[in-house]
Structure 1
Amino acid sequence: MKFSRPWPEVRELGRLVWDYLVCLTPLAPSQVILAMGCHDLRVAAHAARLWHEGWAPLVVASGGNGKVTSVWHETEARAFARVLREHGVPDEAVLLEETATNTGENITATCDLLRRRNVPVERGILVAKPYMTRRSLATAQRQWPDVEWLVAAPEISYDTCMKDDPRQVLELMVGDLQRMVVYAERGFQAPMPMSEDAWLAHEELARLGYDRHVIH
């Protein structure tokens, strides 16, 4: 049985989840910018911006097809590479990793790719959707722990993001917040302190039916 609440209340529950999931860090010169594949091409555009600002000489576009992009006729990496090219990043500064289907594989497959190419990495910049930044960081810290990871995202507010497809955004955030706990318990991510307000908001949103990506 699904329940209902007024939409303004639902939006504010989502804002609590968003505020927890967004985790950005100061930037520093790095060896690689890792653009985490997803359906939002603004992530690739922001990676291009960071490359032009000189934060790293190399951009890895990582992503095969995930739970949202499985209907695309190209991999996330190729879509991102096209955006990078359109924003003036030369082909020689871009590597494609086209096998990853989830956040963990974005990290591990990129690690394998760069090691095969003998590209040393001491510090890297993860670029992801704002509400994927905390989970990306937690995943990278566990899956590639000998690298110092920094995190960046396109400058998109919660209200702006909710104009795209609000139901999809809420469903993805609910799934991602649950994974912060479940995947840490399974050893896939580094554990991070959980906000009680965000957790209760996630539970209520799941109860209201925004549970498409919840692990049952």
Structure 2
Amino acid sequence: MSDNEQAITEDQWHQATLIWAYHQMHHDARPTDVAIGLGSHDLGVAARTAELYHAGLFPTLVFTGGNSPTTAKVFPRGEAVHFREHAIDLDVPAAAILLEPNAANTGQNITLSREVLAAAGITPNTVLLVSKPYMERRSYATARKLWPEVEIVCASEPLEFDDYLKSIGDEKLVVDMLVGDLQRVIEYPKLGFAIEQEVPEDVHAAYESLIRDGFTSRLIAS
């Protein structure tokens, strides 16, 4: 951890683990018609998608995502393009991968991937959404709102919270992201972006406590 990064306290760690567990849907990965790998700063999404492809869970996948301020330097050709290249390096056949290089948010990840699949003549009944571990619930809620006729199964790298912290190397940033995604789970249904989901009292209390402690860099105006 660099001098500019903030370590979290034991209490903050406990609160963050509550939110981390809530964000994950705890679905059992199973065969689906297609998979969609959601672009982000986390190349682990591409690796997990490749792993599930090799496990025979789906014949076709879409990588979706353009660029954002947090990914432009890491993935200069766009998130989906770099994810595709990484999956090919992991022996996923190029012919199995469709590319959606323009999405700028989760809603566009879903709607534009749906269009790419339709253009390829694919109308799935089941979709495996592969995302960052703390993005499962938000991506699920978004897909259920925008693509209600499809059955959604969520997957991510099977990492414990401590292991994910180590993989990113910035505890403050990770907790900021956990808090920001939970805010979106709470607020986006009011805006018509996602289905509403119950937030347990202990998770909501942890969320409010972490906001008071200043984990706010990923919050949106509400």
Band of TM-score, shorter chain: over 0.9
Does 2:124 align with 1:121? yes
Q: Give the structure 2 partner of residue 199 of structure 1.
A: 204
Higher alpha-carbon deviation: 71-80 or 34-43 = 71-80
Distance of 1:130 and 1:181 partners within structure 2: 18
CA contact (8 A) 1:63 1:76 kept: yes
Superposed displacement of residue 148, structure 1? 0.6
Q: Give the structure 2 partner of residue 60 of structure 1.
A: 62
Superposed displacement of residue 7, structure 1? 1.2
State how 1:150-189 maps to structure 2 within 5 Å: 150-163=153-166, 164=168, 165-189=170-194
Q: Which runs of 5+ in 2 are unaligned?
A: 1-6
Identity %: 36
Distance of 2:112 and 2:122 partners within structure 1: 14
State how 1:128-147 maps to structure 2 within 5 Å: 128-147=131-150
Distance of 1:27 and 1:166 partners within structure 2: 28
Q: Deviations over 1:29-65 (max 9, x none)?
A: 2111110111111111110011111111011111111
Distance of 1:67 and 1:213 partners within structure 2: 12
Q: Deviations over 1:72-101 (max 9, x none)?
A: 312110111111011100110001111111
CA contact (8 A) 1:14 1:201 kept: yes
Superposed displacement of residue 107, structure 1? 0.5
Amino acid at match of 1:122: N
Equivalent residue for 2:45, pick from 32, 43, 46: 43
SS of the aligned residue for 2:72 comes to: helix
Amino acid at match of 2:216: D
CA contact (8 A) 1:108 1:143 kept: yes
SS of the aligned residue for 1:121 comes to: coil
Amino acid at match of 2:204: W
Q: Which runs of 5+ in 1 are unaligned?
A: none
CA contact (8 A) 2:8 2:172 kept: no
CA contact (8 A) 2:63 2:83 kept: yes
Distance of 1:158 and 1:144 partners within structure 2: 30
CA contact (8 A) 1:24 1:153 kept: no
Distance of 1:84 and 1:109 partners within structure 2: 20
Does 2:210 align with 1:208? no
Q: Deviations over 1:147-205 (max 9, x none)?
A: 11101111111011112221111111111001101101111101111111111111111
Distance of 2:183 and 2:113 partners within structure 1: 25
Equivalent residue for 1:190, pick from 195, 202, 219: 195
Q: Give the structure 2 partner of residue 13 of structure 1.
A: 15
SS of the aligned residue for 1:60 comes to: strand
Distance of 1:121 and 1:66 partners within structure 2: 28
Distance of 1:137 and 1:82 partners within structure 2: 25
